[in-house]
């Protein structure tokens, strides 16, 4: 592996920028070069905002040179999931529906990134409106996993995770409704965090399922992720569900490298049949590493998790059916069939037929059904009650342990096309990641090795009580250090070299 | 032969229910900080939130919540301790998100009532109208239909949308079915809307301008054959935009429905639109296939907790109820029922009160406003209020009381003020309209009158006082009305030995 | 298997304003049957005493003061419009009520 600057961590790049060894413009350019070289194969990006990013970088350089105090991550590049608005920059959500739409406003996440001087390289690919686990549902083509280009990079945020794994960016933003940050992180050997619901503003995050969606930081290391986390989190009066509390000290927690005396719960229900052998092996090795570091492992039962997937696939589509109603061709986005003879109603129908992909339509229909009169109580109502039970399972578990852990996904990255015709098989991918979204607590994935049978990354999931996200960083920081010292190098450094064009 | 109203009522019993939408007069919208100015240029009071742009999120306007609670309290409602917003899902181009953020099964206020009194053949009768709920929601944008001959939806080639109104806070007040209105259903409907409007105005929560749409009434009406105990199929007449129209629409619906049933046709459950010109309603959307709005709790908004201490504070801050205020004013002014009702109906109660507070005699204030000023306003087809300030009216009344103006002169002063010649005093000055209070000038005129009618003067001298009228009339004529008749009478009688 | 007819799917498609061909309706009807089978396991899990959770977190009374903040410019407002006329969004004829 080369020692080019793009292979460094964000923390290292930050130090290089601070010491003046590299400028933000050079750093951004190096990443654009890398993107030009490999993104033809990977297809992580949907749009590059070269002009905007370089202007941002130049601004940071001016301030640094003048000796102004800037954020440590100022000048470090970032890949932004295309579900967050950035003023004047195309935002498609991976949908044909929004082709060409340039929002007139910045999401709060983008505002926070810009304030910190983080350079936004461009927008990354995703499953349409964040519905999927593979990016195969993007209207703009599938992103490929840099570890094996014939495999999926996870989803919905596969573009962001692939960009990290392919060294196209050291930092990325994802959004997680049922695992869209953590599952892509797991299958690409990167780190991704879904913060406690309400700690990162949803203003400007194009809603899939409002009560579940949460944006979060992604990077190649725990520390980088923690640094980004502190930038994007914080109270936002524009989001009614934003929690008015100080941001936890994530960086400090990530640097603790100590789990002595911590109680770590293994969720009994998130293991067993259906879990790939290599996933279980690596997961257990990670547990051993944590024990060696002084943690106590306790088995914990969460009986309602059995119903989490079903509850999720009612609540999320129900909210989505309403959230996606606004895409009707009247005010923005594409418009189909407006030939002067058709009514607004007909044009709406035709536009939504053409503008939405199969999975999105499937979920809109499912969600409409779950909310419709006569079925509400049996479906949506029951799912909301299951949600209460899942919250209670977590509350009970957290009286016994500090954090909970499980594999992030039952398997490593599957082949592109393998599950695209079988929605139920695809949904099963989210079985470990969904419960935390329903409960609104924090969860993360970090790499815990390569599965022996296919040599692909395995993800280790850590779940922490609401508003205690720093605990995840404390555990993951320690685990990452322990595993890297046993491997001799970070996992991402083992990724195969991509052919360069 | 078609049934008229009286015949319809003889055969059928009406059931009336009302839904009133009120735009609150907050500075900013329900869920965003956009301004709410009426009549602004299209799409200038719009932002990502009220345009429903992808990614935008609502945040509740605290004053809208407060106003809603105050409305509930003024309507004798219970304030629900925990209320929630819900999404009402349906597609319509004037609704940017294709759902309306509203309240469904957990509205903010429930179970209130409003009493109204109407004049019946048996004298004033009180009706209690039960309020089912008061809930918060957001208004829609406005569409302009282009290409059709009339600007109406039918025949239009395309439509143009302005979202300035989208997201303006609305409060919807829903009554239960009002029992026993009998033939007075139209009057009861009108009285309810009028009383509600007065209450909202006294609370200061809305402009309540029906003609601008800041208060909109839907009338639900069904009829059933007398003593059948059945409830008929109801129609919902939308957006009836004046008090008079409320009354006309209900009356029209009773006649229409009765005639349909008489003709053996069933009533269709539907939305109807009131036609201002004809006073009839026209069929709109059928509601036979009930819309499935798929209400569910709004995940982007959190529950509203009405803290009892807060509610009490708001209750204590409520203004005097319009009905109580009317009673108080009537007693203190000593005005008979009929004149009081006339002032209320003419919407001049506030104005008269204002004039009285400026020192005018209540009877005089009432008679000027309802008499001469209303007559002039009628001629110009404007409201009396818009013609002249209360201060000027009070001034004129006080000048009459002081004997500086006669009624006749005062009418000229009034006319001058209204035509823009300045204040009452300025008009008096400019037109030289002062009462002749100079006794010697009057005496000249009195002596002239006596000289011209010596026989009459003799009769007065002989004790026939009423005969003096002719002489006084002559003096008044000679002085062009600028003399004070009482003064003339006094001087004349004294001069003729009868003082 | 939870059966859902093509007509039901067609009704749902109408409610959600999506044009669908007969083939799509058929396909979706069979898929929906399978999915509903799988998600219907939520039924009867929680008793009547369990309250529903509509939100991930429990907070209340989040409100903003009634203060006007700057709107978008008309140009920004209309920037995404597929069609516009006289500073308004131009849309096809609207059927329905006035």
Orientation angle between helical segments A308-323 and C22-39, nearest 10 degrees: 140
Query: What is the rounded distance in angstroms from the CA atom of residue A431 to the CA atom of residue A427?
Result: 8
Residues 68-87 on C with a CB inside 8 Å of B are: 68-72, 74, 77-78, 80, 85-87
Q: How does DSSP classify residue A125?
A: -
A39–B contact, CB cutoff 8 A? no
Residue B62: which of C65, C71, C92 has the nearest Cβ?
C65
| pLDDT score of B239 more than 90 | no
| pLDDT score of B130 more than 70 | yes
- In this complex, do A198 and C56 lie within 8 Å of one another by their Cβ atoms? yes
Q: How does DSSP classify residue B369?
A: I
Residue C1 with chain A: CB contacts under 8 Å: none
Å from B57 to nearest chain A CA? 6
Q: Which candidate, B18, B54, B422, places its Cα nearest to that of B237?
A: B18
Mean pLDDT of all residues in chain B? 91
| pLDDT score of B151 more than 60 | no
Collapsing DSSP states into helix, strand and coil, what is residue B373?
helix
Q: Report pLDDT for B451.
A: 87
Q: Which candidate, A443, A464, A315, A333, places its Cα nearest to that of A380?
A: A315
Contacts 24+ apart (CB under 8 A), A65-74: A70/A117, A71/A115, A71/A116, A71/A117, A71/A118, A71/A231, A72/A14, A72/A18, A72/A227, A73/A10, A73/A14, A73/A116, A73/A117, A73/A118, A73/A171, A73/A227, A73/A228, A73/A231, A74/A17, A74/A24, A74/A116, A74/A117, A74/A118
- In this complex, do A348 and C17 lie within 8 Å of one another by their Cβ atoms? yes
Q: Which two tokens stand for residue B161?
A: 């949308």
Å from C57 to nearest chain B CA? 9
Q: Report pLDDT for B149.
A: 57
- In this complex, do C54 and B301 lie within 8 Å of one another by their Cβ atoms? no
pLDDT digits (tens, 9 = 90+) for A118-155: 999 999 999 999 999 999 999 999 999 999 999 999 99
Phi, psi of B495 (to 5 degrees): -60, -35
Q: Residue A30: is it exposed, middle or buried by C-beta count within 10 angstroms (0-12/13-18/19+)?
A: middle
- Would you call A180 a catalytic residue per the annotation? yes
Q: Report pLDDT for B288.
A: 57
The per-residue DSSP string of A350-382 comes to: HHHHHHS-HHHHHHHHHHHHHHSTTTTIIIIIH
Residue B48: which of A105, A202, A207 has the nearest Cβ?
A105
Q: Which two tokens stand for residue A413?
A: 């990255």
Collapsing DSSP states into helix, strand and coil, what is residue A202?
coil
Q: Residue B289: is it exposed, middle or buried by C-beta count within 10 angstroms (0-12/13-18/19+)?
A: exposed
Query: What is the rounded distance in angstroms from the CA atom of residue A18 to the CA atom of residue B114?
Result: 71
Mean pLDDT of all residues in chain A? 97
Question: How far is CA B213 from each of CA B25, B165, B197, B251, C94, rounded to the nearest angstrom?
Answer: 12, 11, 13, 22, 21
Mean pLDDT within B276-288: 76
Q: Which residue has the higher pLDDT, A10 or B289?
A: A10
Phi, psi of A188 (to 5 degrees): -115, 5
Could you say which of A81, A96, A194, A419 is catalytic?
A: A81
**Contacts A–B by Cβ distance under 8 A:** 104
Whole-structure pTM value: 0.90
Query: What is the rounded distance in angstroms from the CA atom of residue B285 to the CA atom of residue A318?
Result: 27
Residues 267-286 on B with a CB inside 8 Å of A are: none
- In this complex, do C28 and A362 lie within 8 Å of one another by their Cβ atoms? yes
Which chains share 3+ C-beta pairs under 8 angstroms with A?
Answer: B, C
Cβ atoms of residues B5 and B252 within 8 Å: no
| pLDDT score of C2 more than 80 | no
Percent of chain A at pLDDT exceeding 70: 99
How does residue B207 score in pLDDT terms, banded at 50, 70 and 90? very high
- Sequence-distant (≥ 6) Cβ neighbours of residue A85 within 8 angstroms: A91, A103, A105, A106, A107, A110, A204, A206, B53, B54, B55
A239–B contact, CB cutoff 8 A? yes
Could you say which of A156, A201, A209, A304 is catalytic?
A: A156
Cβ atoms of residues B201 and B208 within 8 Å: yes
Q: Report pLDDT for B148.
A: 66
Q: What is the interface pTM, i.e. ipTM, of the complex?
A: 0.97
Q: Report pLDDT for B142.
A: 95
Instruction: Report how far apart the first and last C-alpha atoms of chain A are (Å, whole number).
Output: 17
Phi, psi of A404 (to 5 degrees): -115, 150
Mean pLDDT within B140-163: 81
Residue C68: which of B28, B143, B152 has the nearest Cβ?
B28
| pLDDT score of B114 more than 80 | yes
Q: Which residue has the higher pLDDT, A291 or B435?
A: A291
- Would you call A156 a catalytic residue per the annotation? yes
Query: What is the rounded distance in angstroms from the CA atom of residue C82 to the CA atom of residue A77?
Result: 33
How does residue B185 score in pLDDT terms, banded at 50, 70 and 90? very high
Query: What is the rounded distance in angstroms from the CA atom of residue B102 to the CA atom of residue B297?
Result: 10
Query: What is the rounded distance in angstroms from the CA atom of residue A431 to the CA atom of residue A408?
Result: 9
Å from A445 to nearest chain C CA? 21
Q: Report pLDDT for A2.
A: 46
A341–B contact, CB cutoff 8 A? no
Query: What is the rounded distance in angstroms from the CA atom of residue A254 to the CA atom of residue A476?
Result: 7
pLDDT digits (tens, 9 = 90+) for C16-25: 999 999 999 9
How many other CB atoms are found less than 10 A from the CB of residue A286? 23
**How many CA atoms does the CB half-sphere of A254 hold within 13 Å?**
21
Q: Residue B223: is it exposed, middle or buried by C-beta count within 10 angstroms (0-12/13-18/19+)?
A: buried
Orientation angle between helical segments B468-478 and B485-495, nearest 10 degrees: 120
Mean pLDDT within A256-265: 98
Query: What is the rounded distance in angstroms from the CA atom of residue C3 to the CA atom of residue A475?
Result: 47
Strand partners, B89: B99
| pLDDT score of A157 more than 80 | yes
Query: What is the rounded distance in angstroms from the CA atom of residue B56 to the CA atom of residue B42?
Result: 21
pLDDT digits (tens, 9 = 90+) for A213-260: 999 999 999 999 999 999 999 999 999 999 999 999 999 999 999 999
| pLDDT score of C98 more than 50 | no
How does residue B150 score in pLDDT terms, banded at 50, 70 and 90? low
Q: Which two tokens stand for residue B147?
A: 């290409």
CA A418 to chain centre: 22
- Sequence-distant (≥ 6) Cβ neighbours of residue A120 within 8 angstroms: A49, A52, A53, A56, A77, A78, A80, A86, A89, A110, A113, A114
Residue B315: asked if its preceding bond is cis (omega within 30°), the reply is no
Query: What is the rounded distance in angstroms from the CA atom of residue A83 to the CA atom of residue A95?
Result: 10
Residue C60 with chain B: CB contacts under 8 Å: 82, 302-305
Q: Which candidate, A443, A475, A491, A458, places its Cα nearest to that of A186?
A: A458
Collapsing DSSP states into helix, strand and coil, what is residue C24?
helix
Q: Which candidate, A479, A434, A483, places its Cα nearest to that of A194?
A: A434
């Amino acid at each position: 592996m080369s020692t080019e600057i793009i292979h460094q961590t964000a923390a290292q790049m930050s130090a290089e920028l601070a010491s003046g060894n590299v400028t933000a413009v050079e750093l951004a350019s190096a990443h654009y070069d890398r993107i030009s070289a490999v993104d033809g194969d990977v297809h992580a990006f949907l749009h590059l905002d070269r002009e905007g990013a370089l202007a941002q970088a130049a601004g940071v350089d001016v301030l640094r040179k003048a000796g102004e105090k800037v954020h440590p991550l100022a000048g470090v590049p970032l890949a932004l999931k295309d579900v967050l608005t950035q003023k004047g920059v195309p935002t498609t959500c991976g949908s044909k529906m929004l082709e060409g739409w340039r929002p007139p406003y910045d999401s709060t996440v983008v505002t926070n990134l810009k304030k910190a001087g983080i350079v936004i390289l461009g927008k990354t690919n995703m499953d349409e409106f964040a519905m999927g686990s593979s990016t195969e549902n993007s209207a703009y083509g599938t992103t490929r996993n840099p570890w094996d280009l014939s495999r999926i990079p996870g989803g919905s945020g596969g573009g962001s995770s692939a960009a990290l794994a392919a060294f196209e960016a050291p930092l990325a933003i994802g959004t997680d409704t049922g695992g869209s940050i953590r599952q892509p992180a797991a299958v690409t050997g990167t780190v991704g965090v879904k913060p406690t619901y309400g700690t990162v503003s949803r203003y400007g995050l194009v809603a899939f399922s409002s009560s579940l969606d949460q944006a979060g930081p992604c990077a190649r290391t725990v520390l980088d992720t923690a640094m980004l986390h502190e930038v994007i989190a914080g109270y936002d009066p524009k989001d009614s569900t934003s929690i008015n509390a100080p941001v936890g000290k994530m960086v400090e927690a990530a640097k603790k490298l100590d789990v002595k005396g911590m109680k770590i719960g293994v969720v009994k229900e998130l293991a067993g049949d259906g879990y790939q052998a290599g996933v279980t092996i690596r997961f257990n090795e990670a547990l051993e590493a944590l024990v060696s570091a002084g943690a106590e492992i306790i088995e914990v039962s969460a009986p309602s998790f059995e119903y989490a997937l079903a509850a999720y696939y009612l609540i999320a589509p129900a909210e989505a059916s309403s959230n996606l109603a606004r895409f009707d061709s009247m005010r923005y986005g594409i418009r189909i069939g407006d030939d002067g003879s058709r009514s607004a109603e007909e044009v709406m129908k035709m536009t939504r037929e053409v503008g939405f992909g199969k999975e999105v339509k499937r979920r809109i229909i499912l969600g409409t059904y779950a909310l419709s009169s006569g079925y509400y109580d049996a479906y949506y109502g029951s799912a909301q009650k299951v949600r209460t039970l899942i919250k209670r399972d977590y509350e009970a578990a957290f009286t016994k342990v500090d954090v909970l852990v499980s594999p992030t996904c039952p398997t490593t990255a599957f082949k592109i096309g393998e599950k695209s015709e079988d929605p139920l098989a695809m949904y099963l991918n989210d079985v470990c990641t969904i419960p935390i979204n329903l409960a609104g607590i924090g969860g993360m994935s970090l790499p815990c090795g390569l599965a022996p049978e296919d040599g692909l990354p395995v993800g280790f999931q850590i779940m922490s009580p609401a508003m205690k996200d720093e605990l995840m960083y404390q555990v993951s920081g320690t685990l990452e250090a322990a595993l890297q010292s046993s491997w001799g190098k970070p996992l991402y450094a083992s990724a195969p070299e991509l052919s360069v064009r | 032969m078609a049934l008229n109203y009286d015949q319809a009522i003889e055969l059928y019993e009406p059931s009336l229910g009302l839904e009133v939408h009120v735009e609150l007069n907050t500075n900013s919208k329900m869920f965003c900080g956009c301004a709410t100015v009426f009549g602004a240029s299209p799409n200038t009071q719009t932002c990502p939130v009220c345009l429903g742009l992808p990614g935008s999120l609502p945040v509740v306007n605290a004053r809208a919540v407060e106003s809603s609670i105050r409305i509930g309290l003024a309507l004798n409602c219970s304030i629900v301790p925990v209320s929630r917003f819900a999404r009402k899902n349906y597609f319509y181009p004037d609704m940017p998100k294709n759902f309306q953020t509203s309240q469904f099964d957990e509205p903010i206020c429930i179970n209130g009532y409003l009493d109204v009194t109407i004049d019946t053949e048996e004298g004033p009768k009180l009706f209690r109208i039960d309020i089912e709920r008061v809930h918060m929601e957001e208004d829609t944008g406005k569409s302009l239909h282009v290409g059709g001959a009339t600007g109406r939806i039918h025949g239009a080639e395309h439509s143009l949308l302005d979202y300035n109104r989208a997201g303006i806070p609305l409060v919807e007040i829903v009554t239960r079915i009002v029992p026993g209105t009998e033939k007075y259903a139209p009057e009861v409907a009108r009285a309810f809307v009028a009383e509600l409007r007065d209450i909202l105005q006294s609370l200061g929560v809305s402009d309540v301008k029906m003609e601008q749409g800041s208060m909109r009434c839907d009338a639900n009406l069904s009829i059933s054959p007398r003593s059948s105990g059945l409830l008929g199929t109801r129609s919902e007449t939308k957006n009836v935009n004046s008090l008079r129209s409320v009354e006309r629409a209900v009356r029209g619906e009773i006649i229409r429905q009765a005639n349909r049933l008489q003709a053996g046709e069933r009533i269709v459950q539907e939305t109807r639109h009131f036609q201002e010109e004809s006073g009839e309603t026209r069929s709109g959307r059928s509601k036979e296939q009930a819309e499935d709005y798929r209400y569910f709790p709004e995940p982007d908004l959190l529950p509203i907790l009405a803290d009892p201490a807060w509610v009490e504070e708001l209750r204590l801050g409520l203004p005097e109820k319009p009905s109580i205020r009317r009673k108080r004013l009537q007693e203190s002014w000593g005005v008979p029922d009929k004149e009081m009702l006339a002032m209320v109906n003419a919407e001049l109660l506030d104005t008269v009160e204002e004039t009285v507070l400026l020192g005018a005699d209540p009877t005089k204030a009432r008679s000027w406003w309802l008499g001469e000023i209303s007559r002039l306003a009628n001629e110009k087809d404007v409201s009396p209020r818009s013609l002249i300030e209360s201060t000027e009216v009070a001034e004129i009344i006080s000048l009459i009381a002081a004997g500086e103006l006669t009624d006749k002169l005062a009418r000229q002063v009034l006319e001058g003020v209204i035509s823009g010649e300045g204040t009452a005093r300025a008009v008096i000055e400019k037109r030289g309209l002062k009462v002749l209070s100079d006794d010697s000038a009057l005496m000249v005129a009195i002596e002239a009158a006596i000289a011209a009618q010596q026989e009459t003067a003799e009769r007065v001298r002989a004790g026939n006082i009423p005969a003096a009228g002719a002489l006084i009339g002559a003096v008044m004529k000679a002085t062009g009305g600028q003399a004070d008749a009482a003064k003339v009478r006094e001087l004349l009688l004294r001069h003729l030995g009868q003082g | 298997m939870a059966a859902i007819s093509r007509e039901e799917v067609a009704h749902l498609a109408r409610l959600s304003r999506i044009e669908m061909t007969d083939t799509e309706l058929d396909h979706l009807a069979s898929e929906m049957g399978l999915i509903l089978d799988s998600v219907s396991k939520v039924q009867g899990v929680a008793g009547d005493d369990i309250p529903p959770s509509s939100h991930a977190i429990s907070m209340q009374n989040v409100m903003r003061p009634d203060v006007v903040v700057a709107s978008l410019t008309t140009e920004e407002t209309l920037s995404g419009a597929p069609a516009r006329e006289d500073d308004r969004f131009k849309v096809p004829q609207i059927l329905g009520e006035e």
